[in-house]
Amino acid sequence: MKALRAYRFWGYAATFGALWGAVEITAGSFLHAIKLPFSGVVLAGIGAALLVSLRTLQPARGIVLTAGMVCAGIKLLSPAGAVVGPMVAILVESMLVEIALAPAGANPVSGAVAGALASFWAVAQKLITQTLFYGLPVIGIYKGVLLQGARLLHLPASGGAWVAGAFLFGVALIGAGLGVAGSLVGATTRRQLAVERP
Amino acid sequence: MTFARLSLVVAVALLVALALLPPEWHLPLGIAGWALLRLGARDVHRTLGRPWRWLQALAFLCLLGAIFGTADSHVASVGWSKSGALSGATMVVRAFALVALTSLASSVLPIRRWTDRIRNPVARRLIEVVIVAANLVPVQLRALSTASSTLKERRPGLLRLPKRLWLLAVHSSLRAAILAESVAFDMAVSAHNAGGSRKESS
Protein backbone atom coordinates (compact mmCIF):
# COMPACT_ATOMS: atom_id res chain seq x y z
CA MET A 1 0.00 0.00 0.00
CA LYS A 2 2.89 2.29 0.91
CA ALA A 3 4.57 1.40 -2.39
CA LEU A 4 1.43 2.24 -4.35
CA ARG A 5 1.37 5.66 -2.63
CA ALA A 6 4.94 6.27 -3.82
CA TYR A 7 3.99 5.27 -7.37
CA ARG A 8 0.97 7.55 -7.15
CA PHE A 9 3.36 10.43 -6.33
CA TRP A 10 5.32 9.75 -9.53
CA GLY A 11 2.15 9.13 -11.55
CA TYR A 12 0.62 12.46 -10.57
CA ALA A 13 3.93 14.27 -11.17
CA ALA A 14 4.12 12.67 -14.65
CA THR A 15 0.55 13.44 -15.76
CA PHE A 16 0.44 16.99 -14.36
CA GLY A 17 3.92 17.70 -15.74
CA ALA A 18 2.69 16.47 -19.13
CA LEU A 19 -0.50 18.54 -18.79
CA TRP A 20 1.60 21.63 -18.03
CA GLY A 21 3.69 20.88 -21.12
CA ALA A 22 0.52 20.52 -23.23
CA VAL A 23 -0.91 23.77 -21.83
CA GLU A 24 2.40 25.57 -22.57
CA ILE A 25 2.14 24.37 -26.19
CA THR A 26 -1.55 25.23 -26.74
CA ALA A 27 -2.12 28.31 -24.58
CA GLY A 28 1.44 29.54 -25.18
CA SER A 29 1.13 29.46 -28.96
CA PHE A 30 -2.37 30.98 -28.79
CA LEU A 31 -1.31 33.86 -26.50
CA HIS A 32 1.77 34.58 -28.61
CA ALA A 33 -0.30 34.40 -31.82
CA ILE A 34 -2.84 36.98 -30.60
CA LYS A 35 0.08 39.09 -29.26
CA LEU A 36 -1.50 39.49 -25.83
CA PRO A 37 0.61 41.82 -23.69
CA PHE A 38 2.22 40.08 -20.68
CA SER A 39 1.39 36.63 -22.06
CA GLY A 40 4.34 35.32 -20.00
CA VAL A 41 2.61 36.51 -16.81
CA VAL A 42 -0.64 34.77 -17.80
CA LEU A 43 1.23 31.56 -18.72
CA ALA A 44 3.11 31.61 -15.40
CA GLY A 45 -0.21 32.09 -13.59
CA ILE A 46 -1.79 29.17 -15.48
CA GLY A 47 1.23 27.00 -14.61
CA ALA A 48 0.93 27.97 -10.94
CA ALA A 49 -2.83 27.21 -11.01
CA LEU A 50 -2.10 23.76 -12.38
CA LEU A 51 0.48 23.10 -9.66
CA VAL A 52 -1.85 24.34 -6.90
CA SER A 53 -4.54 22.02 -8.27
CA LEU A 54 -2.03 19.13 -8.23
CA ARG A 55 -1.06 19.85 -4.62
CA THR A 56 -4.77 19.94 -3.66
CA LEU A 57 -5.25 16.47 -5.19
CA GLN A 58 -2.01 14.98 -3.86
CA PRO A 59 -1.00 16.79 -0.65
CA ALA A 60 2.57 15.48 -0.67
CA ARG A 61 5.63 17.66 -0.10
CA GLY A 62 7.90 17.93 -3.14
CA ILE A 63 5.27 16.88 -5.69
CA VAL A 64 5.02 20.39 -7.14
CA LEU A 65 8.78 20.65 -7.64
CA THR A 66 8.84 17.13 -9.15
CA ALA A 67 6.06 18.05 -11.63
CA GLY A 68 8.09 21.16 -12.52
CA MET A 69 11.19 19.01 -13.13
CA VAL A 70 9.11 16.66 -15.29
CA CYS A 71 7.77 19.57 -17.35
CA ALA A 72 11.30 21.04 -17.69
CA GLY A 73 12.53 17.60 -18.79
CA ILE A 74 9.79 17.45 -21.44
CA LYS A 75 10.92 20.87 -22.66
CA LEU A 76 14.51 19.57 -22.83
CA LEU A 77 13.42 16.61 -24.98
CA SER A 78 11.30 18.81 -27.27
CA PRO A 79 12.74 19.71 -30.69
CA ALA A 80 12.02 23.44 -30.17
CA GLY A 81 14.98 25.80 -30.56
CA ALA A 82 14.98 27.92 -27.40
CA VAL A 83 14.66 25.66 -24.36
CA VAL A 84 16.93 27.18 -21.71
CA GLY A 85 14.72 30.21 -20.92
CA PRO A 86 11.43 28.26 -20.63
CA MET A 87 13.20 25.53 -18.62
CA VAL A 88 14.57 28.03 -16.10
CA ALA A 89 11.13 29.68 -15.88
CA ILE A 90 9.37 26.34 -15.26
CA LEU A 91 11.89 25.24 -12.60
CA VAL A 92 11.90 28.55 -10.70
CA GLU A 93 8.11 28.90 -10.87
CA SER A 94 7.59 25.36 -9.53
CA MET A 95 10.12 26.07 -6.77
CA LEU A 96 8.30 29.27 -5.78
CA VAL A 97 4.92 27.48 -5.78
CA GLU A 98 6.40 24.65 -3.67
CA ILE A 99 7.73 27.20 -1.14
CA ALA A 100 4.41 29.10 -1.04
CA LEU A 101 2.41 25.90 -0.46
CA ALA A 102 4.86 24.38 2.06
CA PRO A 103 3.59 25.94 5.33
CA ALA A 104 -0.18 25.30 5.02
CA GLY A 105 -0.67 23.15 1.94
CA ALA A 106 -2.90 24.17 -0.96
CA ASN A 107 -5.80 26.49 -0.14
CA PRO A 108 -7.15 29.66 -1.82
CA VAL A 109 -4.85 31.96 0.22
CA SER A 110 -1.62 30.01 -0.38
CA GLY A 111 -2.75 29.49 -3.98
CA ALA A 112 -3.05 33.26 -4.43
CA VAL A 113 0.44 33.78 -2.97
CA ALA A 114 1.85 31.02 -5.20
CA GLY A 115 0.23 32.49 -8.33
CA ALA A 116 1.45 36.00 -7.53
CA LEU A 117 5.02 34.77 -6.91
CA ALA A 118 5.08 32.80 -10.17
CA SER A 119 3.80 35.82 -12.13
CA PHE A 120 6.37 38.11 -10.48
CA TRP A 121 9.08 35.69 -11.56
CA ALA A 122 7.86 35.87 -15.18
CA VAL A 123 8.41 39.66 -15.08
CA ALA A 124 11.73 39.37 -13.23
CA GLN A 125 13.08 36.74 -15.64
CA LYS A 126 12.16 38.88 -18.64
CA LEU A 127 14.01 41.84 -17.09
CA ILE A 128 17.05 39.71 -16.15
CA THR A 129 17.22 38.08 -19.61
CA GLN A 130 16.88 41.42 -21.40
CA THR A 131 19.59 42.98 -19.19
CA LEU A 132 21.90 40.00 -19.82
CA PHE A 133 21.38 40.02 -23.58
CA TYR A 134 20.85 43.70 -24.41
CA GLY A 135 23.02 45.15 -21.63
CA LEU A 136 22.40 47.76 -18.93
CA PRO A 137 20.87 50.42 -21.26
CA VAL A 138 17.62 48.38 -21.06
CA ILE A 139 17.21 49.52 -17.45
CA GLY A 140 17.58 53.13 -18.62
CA ILE A 141 14.87 52.59 -21.26
CA TYR A 142 12.48 51.10 -18.70
CA LYS A 143 13.20 54.02 -16.34
CA GLY A 144 12.39 56.42 -19.19
CA VAL A 145 9.13 54.59 -19.94
CA LEU A 146 8.12 54.73 -16.25
CA LEU A 147 8.90 58.47 -16.01
CA GLN A 148 6.97 59.13 -19.22
CA GLY A 149 4.03 57.08 -17.87
CA ALA A 150 4.04 59.05 -14.60
CA ARG A 151 4.08 62.33 -16.57
CA LEU A 152 1.20 61.23 -18.84
CA LEU A 153 -0.93 60.12 -15.89
CA HIS A 154 -0.11 63.33 -13.95
CA LEU A 155 1.16 61.34 -10.98
CA PRO A 156 3.26 62.97 -8.22
CA ALA A 157 7.03 62.95 -8.87
CA SER A 158 8.38 59.64 -7.57
CA GLY A 159 10.80 58.54 -10.27
CA GLY A 160 8.13 56.31 -11.83
CA ALA A 161 7.61 54.31 -8.62
CA TRP A 162 3.82 54.73 -8.78
CA VAL A 163 3.63 53.38 -12.33
CA ALA A 164 5.94 50.47 -11.44
CA GLY A 165 3.86 49.76 -8.32
CA ALA A 166 0.59 49.81 -10.30
CA PHE A 167 2.10 47.50 -12.92
CA LEU A 168 3.35 45.04 -10.30
CA PHE A 169 -0.02 45.18 -8.54
CA GLY A 170 -1.72 44.25 -11.84
CA VAL A 171 0.73 41.36 -12.32
CA ALA A 172 0.12 40.13 -8.76
CA LEU A 173 -3.65 40.37 -9.28
CA ILE A 174 -3.54 38.22 -12.45
CA GLY A 175 -1.29 35.61 -10.78
CA ALA A 176 -3.27 35.54 -7.54
CA GLY A 177 -6.58 35.18 -9.40
CA LEU A 178 -5.25 32.23 -11.38
CA GLY A 179 -3.76 30.69 -8.20
CA VAL A 180 -7.14 30.87 -6.42
CA ALA A 181 -8.80 29.36 -9.52
CA GLY A 182 -6.26 26.51 -9.39
CA SER A 183 -7.11 25.80 -5.77
CA LEU A 184 -10.86 25.74 -6.58
CA VAL A 185 -10.28 23.48 -9.62
CA GLY A 186 -8.29 21.10 -7.41
CA ALA A 187 -11.04 21.00 -4.76
CA THR A 188 -13.76 20.41 -7.38
CA THR A 189 -11.71 17.64 -9.02
CA ARG A 190 -11.19 15.96 -5.64
CA ARG A 191 -14.96 16.00 -5.01
CA GLN A 192 -15.61 14.57 -8.50
CA LEU A 193 -13.02 11.82 -7.93
CA ALA A 194 -14.68 10.92 -4.62
CA VAL A 195 -18.05 10.61 -6.40
CA GLU A 196 -16.57 8.39 -9.13
CA ARG A 197 -14.59 6.25 -6.65
CA PRO A 198 -16.81 5.82 -3.57
CA MET B 1 32.58 24.97 -41.63
CA THR B 2 29.91 23.48 -39.35
CA PHE B 3 27.05 25.52 -37.90
CA ALA B 4 28.64 25.29 -34.43
CA ARG B 5 32.00 26.65 -35.59
CA LEU B 6 30.45 29.29 -37.79
CA SER B 7 28.19 30.59 -35.02
CA LEU B 8 31.15 30.64 -32.59
CA VAL B 9 33.32 32.62 -35.03
CA VAL B 10 30.52 35.06 -35.92
CA ALA B 11 29.44 35.58 -32.29
CA VAL B 12 32.97 36.18 -30.99
CA ALA B 13 33.81 38.46 -33.94
CA LEU B 14 30.65 40.51 -33.31
CA LEU B 15 31.35 40.85 -29.57
CA VAL B 16 34.95 41.94 -30.24
CA ALA B 17 33.77 44.41 -32.90
CA LEU B 18 31.20 45.87 -30.48
CA ALA B 19 33.95 46.50 -27.95
CA LEU B 20 36.47 47.99 -30.38
CA LEU B 21 34.55 49.83 -33.13
CA PRO B 22 32.47 53.04 -32.90
CA PRO B 23 28.63 52.63 -32.62
CA GLU B 24 28.05 53.62 -36.29
CA TRP B 25 29.66 50.34 -37.38
CA HIS B 26 27.65 48.03 -35.12
CA LEU B 27 24.49 47.69 -37.21
CA PRO B 28 26.23 47.00 -40.57
CA LEU B 29 28.45 44.44 -38.85
CA GLY B 30 25.43 42.83 -37.15
CA ILE B 31 23.63 42.54 -40.51
CA ALA B 32 26.75 41.02 -42.07
CA GLY B 33 27.03 38.50 -39.21
CA TRP B 34 23.37 37.59 -39.46
CA ALA B 35 23.63 37.14 -43.27
CA LEU B 36 26.70 34.94 -42.84
CA LEU B 37 24.87 32.63 -40.45
CA ARG B 38 21.71 32.71 -42.57
CA LEU B 39 23.59 31.63 -45.70
CA GLY B 40 26.13 29.37 -43.98
CA ALA B 41 23.75 27.39 -41.75
CA ARG B 42 20.42 26.10 -43.00
CA ASP B 43 18.78 25.58 -39.58
CA VAL B 44 19.70 29.05 -38.34
CA HIS B 45 16.06 30.18 -38.22
CA ARG B 46 15.24 27.43 -35.70
CA THR B 47 17.81 28.30 -33.06
CA LEU B 48 18.40 32.01 -33.55
CA GLY B 49 14.85 33.28 -33.94
CA ARG B 50 12.96 34.60 -36.94
CA PRO B 51 14.52 37.49 -38.93
CA TRP B 52 11.28 39.46 -38.61
CA ARG B 53 11.50 39.35 -34.80
CA TRP B 54 15.08 40.69 -34.89
CA LEU B 55 13.95 43.48 -37.18
CA GLN B 56 11.07 44.31 -34.83
CA ALA B 57 13.45 44.39 -31.83
CA LEU B 58 15.83 46.64 -33.77
CA ALA B 59 13.11 49.12 -34.76
CA PHE B 60 11.62 49.14 -31.26
CA LEU B 61 14.90 49.62 -29.38
CA CYS B 62 16.19 52.27 -31.81
CA LEU B 63 12.91 54.17 -31.45
CA LEU B 64 13.00 53.97 -27.65
CA GLY B 65 16.67 54.99 -27.61
CA ALA B 66 15.94 57.95 -29.91
CA ILE B 67 13.04 59.13 -27.73
CA PHE B 68 14.45 58.52 -24.24
CA GLY B 69 18.17 59.13 -24.89
CA THR B 70 19.98 62.46 -24.51
CA ALA B 71 18.74 64.85 -27.23
CA ASP B 72 21.80 65.47 -29.41
CA SER B 73 20.21 65.85 -32.84
CA HIS B 74 17.35 67.73 -34.51
CA VAL B 75 15.01 66.54 -37.29
CA ALA B 76 12.20 68.92 -38.40
CA SER B 77 12.85 71.02 -35.26
CA VAL B 78 12.18 67.99 -33.03
CA GLY B 79 15.01 67.00 -30.71
CA TRP B 80 15.92 63.31 -30.66
CA SER B 81 18.83 61.21 -29.57
CA LYS B 82 21.12 59.89 -32.29
CA SER B 83 23.38 58.23 -29.70
CA GLY B 84 20.30 56.60 -28.14
CA ALA B 85 19.18 55.17 -31.49
CA LEU B 86 22.71 53.87 -32.15
CA SER B 87 22.84 52.27 -28.70
CA GLY B 88 19.54 50.49 -29.59
CA ALA B 89 21.27 48.98 -32.63
CA THR B 90 24.28 48.00 -30.46
CA MET B 91 21.93 46.28 -27.99
CA VAL B 92 20.32 44.18 -30.74
CA VAL B 93 23.66 43.16 -32.27
CA ARG B 94 24.99 42.24 -28.81
CA ALA B 95 21.85 40.18 -28.12
CA PHE B 96 22.20 38.40 -31.48
CA ALA B 97 25.83 37.50 -30.73
CA LEU B 98 24.92 36.19 -27.27
CA VAL B 99 21.97 34.16 -28.60
CA ALA B 100 24.31 32.59 -31.18
CA LEU B 101 26.75 31.71 -28.35
CA THR B 102 24.08 30.23 -26.05
CA SER B 103 22.45 28.21 -28.83
CA LEU B 104 25.88 26.86 -29.68
CA ALA B 105 26.47 25.91 -26.03
CA SER B 106 23.09 24.16 -25.72
CA SER B 107 23.59 22.25 -28.99
CA VAL B 108 27.11 21.09 -28.08
CA LEU B 109 26.43 19.93 -24.49
CA PRO B 110 25.97 16.09 -24.46
CA ILE B 111 22.87 16.14 -22.21
CA ARG B 112 21.57 12.72 -23.32
CA ARG B 113 24.97 11.07 -22.64
CA TRP B 114 25.08 12.70 -19.17
CA THR B 115 21.60 11.43 -18.31
CA ASP B 116 22.57 7.89 -19.38
CA ARG B 117 25.44 7.93 -16.86
CA ILE B 118 23.22 8.82 -13.87
CA ARG B 119 23.00 5.91 -11.40
CA ASN B 120 21.15 7.55 -8.47
CA PRO B 121 17.81 5.65 -8.11
CA VAL B 122 15.67 8.79 -7.53
CA ALA B 123 17.27 10.61 -10.47
CA ARG B 124 16.84 7.52 -12.67
CA ARG B 125 13.17 7.28 -11.64
CA LEU B 126 12.77 10.99 -12.49
CA ILE B 127 14.24 10.39 -15.96
CA GLU B 128 11.89 7.41 -16.51
CA VAL B 129 8.94 9.55 -15.43
CA VAL B 130 10.02 12.35 -17.81
CA ILE B 131 10.03 9.85 -20.70
CA VAL B 132 6.55 8.58 -19.66
CA ALA B 133 5.32 12.19 -19.40
CA ALA B 134 6.80 13.11 -22.80
CA ASN B 135 4.75 10.27 -24.31
CA LEU B 136 1.67 11.54 -22.46
CA VAL B 137 1.89 15.09 -23.90
CA PRO B 138 0.25 14.20 -27.28
CA VAL B 139 -2.48 12.32 -25.36
CA GLN B 140 -3.11 15.37 -23.17
CA LEU B 141 -3.04 17.67 -26.22
CA ARG B 142 -5.67 15.57 -28.01
CA ALA B 143 -7.84 15.44 -24.86
CA LEU B 144 -7.57 19.22 -24.41
CA SER B 145 -8.48 19.85 -28.03
CA THR B 146 -11.46 17.42 -27.99
CA ALA B 147 -12.80 18.81 -24.70
CA SER B 148 -12.40 22.37 -25.96
CA SER B 149 -14.32 21.67 -29.21
CA THR B 150 -17.09 19.76 -27.40
CA LEU B 151 -17.54 22.60 -24.89
CA LYS B 152 -17.59 25.14 -27.72
CA GLU B 153 -20.37 23.17 -29.46
CA ARG B 154 -22.43 22.74 -26.28
CA ARG B 155 -21.92 26.23 -24.84
CA PRO B 156 -21.24 28.63 -27.71
CA GLY B 157 -20.77 32.40 -27.38
CA LEU B 158 -18.32 34.80 -25.80
CA LEU B 159 -20.47 35.31 -22.70
CA ARG B 160 -20.13 31.65 -21.80
CA LEU B 161 -16.33 31.72 -22.15
CA PRO B 162 -15.59 31.90 -18.39
CA LYS B 163 -17.84 28.89 -17.72
CA ARG B 164 -16.26 27.05 -20.65
CA LEU B 165 -12.76 27.75 -19.33
CA TRP B 166 -13.78 26.58 -15.84
CA LEU B 167 -15.26 23.33 -17.19
CA LEU B 168 -12.18 22.77 -19.37
CA ALA B 169 -9.89 23.27 -16.36
CA VAL B 170 -11.88 20.85 -14.16
CA HIS B 171 -12.13 18.30 -16.98
CA SER B 172 -8.37 18.46 -17.69
CA SER B 173 -7.51 18.16 -14.01
CA LEU B 174 -9.91 15.22 -13.55
CA ARG B 175 -8.57 13.47 -16.63
CA ALA B 176 -4.96 13.99 -15.48
CA ALA B 177 -5.84 12.57 -12.04
CA ILE B 178 -7.47 9.45 -13.56
CA LEU B 179 -4.51 9.02 -15.91
CA ALA B 180 -2.14 9.41 -12.92
CA GLU B 181 -3.88 6.54 -11.11
CA SER B 182 -3.44 4.25 -14.11
CA VAL B 183 0.22 5.33 -14.59
CA ALA B 184 0.89 4.62 -10.88
CA PHE B 185 -0.79 1.21 -11.18
CA ASP B 186 1.23 0.36 -14.32
CA MET B 187 4.46 1.38 -12.58
CA ALA B 188 3.61 -0.76 -9.53
CA VAL B 189 2.76 -3.78 -11.73
CA SER B 190 5.93 -3.47 -13.83
CA ALA B 191 8.07 -3.07 -10.65
CA HIS B 192 6.38 -6.16 -9.17
CA ASN B 193 6.95 -8.16 -12.38
CA ALA B 194 10.58 -7.02 -12.54
CA GLY B 195 11.05 -8.18 -8.93
CA GLY B 196 9.43 -11.57 -9.72
CA SER B 197 11.58 -12.22 -12.79
CA ARG B 198 14.71 -11.26 -10.82
CA LYS B 199 13.79 -13.88 -8.17
CA GLU B 200 13.17 -16.54 -10.86
CA SER B 201 16.52 -15.87 -12.56
CA SER B 202 18.41 -16.08 -9.23
pLDDT tens by residue, A107-141: 999 999 999 999 999 999 988 988 888 888 888 88
What pTM did the predictor assign? 0.76
Nearest CA among A19, A4, A154 for reference residue A90: A19
pLDDT tens for residues A4-22? 778 899 999 999 999 998 8
Residue A182 burial by Cβ neighbours in a 10 Å radius (0-12, 13-18, 19+): buried
Has residue A81 got a pLDDT over 60?
A: no
Closest residue of chain A to B65, computed from CA coordinates = A141
Least confidently predicted of A27-41, A155-169, B3-17? A27-41
pLDDT of res. A1: 55
Nearest to B172 among A19, A73, A141 (CB): A19
Nearest to B173 among A73, A138, A186 (CB): A186
Distance to chain A for B201, nearest Cα, Å: 23
User: Is A133 in Cβ contact with B126 (below 8 Å)?
Assistant: no
pLDDT of res. A117: 95
Average pLDDT on A155-159 reads 73
pLDDT lower than 70: segments of chain B: 1-4, 41-49, 76, 106-109, 111-112, 196-202
Which ranges in chain B belong to alpha helices (H)?
Answer: 3-20, 26-40, 44-48, 51-68, 82-108, 111-117, 121-154, 161-201
Q: Are A155 and A167 in contact (CB under 8 A)?
A: no
pLDDT tens for residues A101-115? 999 888 999 999 999
pLDDT of res. B96: 84
pLDDT of res. A64: 95
Residue in B62, B132, B137 to test binding to A, most A beta-carbons within 10 Å: B137
User: Is A7 in Cβ contact with B184 (below 8 Å)?
Assistant: yes
**Complete DSSP assignment for A19-32:** HHHHHHHHHHHHHH
Helix (H) or strand (E) holding A4: helix A2-33
Between B192 and A34, name the one with better pLDDT.
B192
Between B90 and A32, name the one with better pLDDT.
B90
pLDDT of res. A109: 95
pLDDT of res. B46: 58
Chain B touched by A69 (CB under 8 Å): yes
pLDDT of res. A119: 94
Whole-angstrom distance, CA of residue A39 vs CA of residue A26: 13
pLDDT of res. B10: 84
pLDDT band at A196 (very low <50, low <70, confident <90, very high): confident
Chain B touched by A17 (CB under 8 Å): yes
Residue type, B125: R
Whole-angstrom distance, CA of residue A159 vs CA of residue A155: 10
pLDDT of res. B83: 83
Q: Are A9 and B179 in contact (CB under 8 A)?
A: no
Residue A106: phi and psi, rounded to 5, are: -90, 120
User: Is B181 in Cβ contact with A11 (below 8 Å)?
Assistant: yes
pLDDT of res. A187: 94
pLDDT tens for residues A57-69? 999 999 999 999 9
